[in-house]
Amino acid sequence: MREPENNDLGFGDFLRRVAETTWNRRGLEAALAGVCHPQLICRNALAMGYGAEALRGEALELLAALPDLAARSEDVVWSGNGRVGMLGSQRVLMQGCHDGTGAFGTPTGKRIRFRVLTDIYAKDNRISEIWAVRDTGAILRQLGIAPQAWARARLRPGDPESGPFHPGIDQPGPYTGGGNGNQWGMAFAGVVERIMHHDFSEIAEQYDPAARLCYPGGVIAEGACAAERFWFGLRASFPSATFTIHHRAGREDRLMPPRAALRWSLSGRHDGWGAFGKPTGAMVHVMGISHAEFGPSGIRREWSMYDEAAIWMQIHASGLVPVARQAIAAE
């Protein structure tokens, strides 16, 4: 096994502490402000915000509905160094009881389990950029709520900047890197790129037959057939959309399998039958984050996430804010 790259090995611990402080200790004021740059850019698939206030707002929304919410940081895959800063892709498992009134309706008492995948850029222990994808579909399905209906109800017609993140409302941030050159990050990026360029035969060749897979909506599945169903369903919905990998990183750490993280997007029209039903022609931007672990027979574990509620919001909003959506087509 290779030695770990010459990175700050404490960065993963830093991000784990931030998650612990924010979600488990409810440090939403001074503690949160202390690790956030004043000009923090927070790109959540459901919205875009700035500063510690954006993180605080999301936390308060979730905690109102799930008062006992607890988070467990499952892994961080990072790249960079202390001189230019570090970017870590963090995977957090969240669990709580729906005992509060809030964004998900009246309390049901149901126990909810979902994941959040987040790319976080920090320098000198100050976070200045975030890209976050929450499995809102998993929350809704466990509560018996259709993601399509919830997304429609959340829309604010006439306020294009209040909706899901898309390139038309983006702002430049300090991070300009694309990841590292680790072989596992490059290998995972190559697999996903070939799949998204319609080479679905790649899946049977690259996935372990017993691969454990976690997908949007709280889906847990196994094997290459399930991977094909997920990736095909997404690509079939947006067959002409532009696929882009924005960041890739791989790591080999002691007592850990080789692993990789990607941040990617699909930008274009909803012009095909797939995971999002009948084509509508809506302009859509899909923000995705994927993690993978490798074994002797290929990809043995994968977590790929997009926020399906954010996609449904964009589909429902088609025609309401056509000018704002033109920027997606230009990407």
Condensed to tens digits (0 to 9), the pLDDT of residues 186-220 reads 999 999 999 999 999 999 999 999 999 999 999 99
Mean per-residue pLDDT, 127-133: 98
Residue 329 vs residues 157, 241, 243, 282, 283: alpha-carbon distances, Å: 20, 9, 12, 11, 7
Bridge partners of residue 283, in order along the sequence: 269
- The tokens for 322 are 């056509």
Q: pLDDT band at 326, cuts 50/70/90? A: very low
Question: What amino acid occupies position 171?
Answer: Q
- The residue among 90, 96, 82, 119 whose CA lies nearest residue 19 is 90
CB-based contact 136:180 (threshold 8 Å): no
Task: Output the pLDDT for position 158.
Answer: 67
**CA–CA dist 165, 160 (Å, integer):** 10
DSSP state of 5: P
Q: What percent of the chain has pLDDT over 70?
A: 92
Cα dihedral 142→308→212→113 (10° resolution): -30
In degrees rounded to 5, what are phi and psi of residue 5? -60, 160
Q: Is the pLDDT of residue 181 over 80?
A: yes
Task: Output the pLDDT for position 159.
Answer: 66
**CA–CA dist 68, 62 (Å, integer):** 10
Condensed to tens digits (0 to 9), the pLDDT of residues 101-127 reads 999 999 999 999 999 999 999 999 999
Burial 11-48 (b: 16+ CB within 10 A, else e): bbebbbbbbebbbeeebbeebbbebbbeebbbbbbbbb
Q: Which of 45-59, 72-86, 151-165 has the lowest mean pLDDT?
A: 151-165
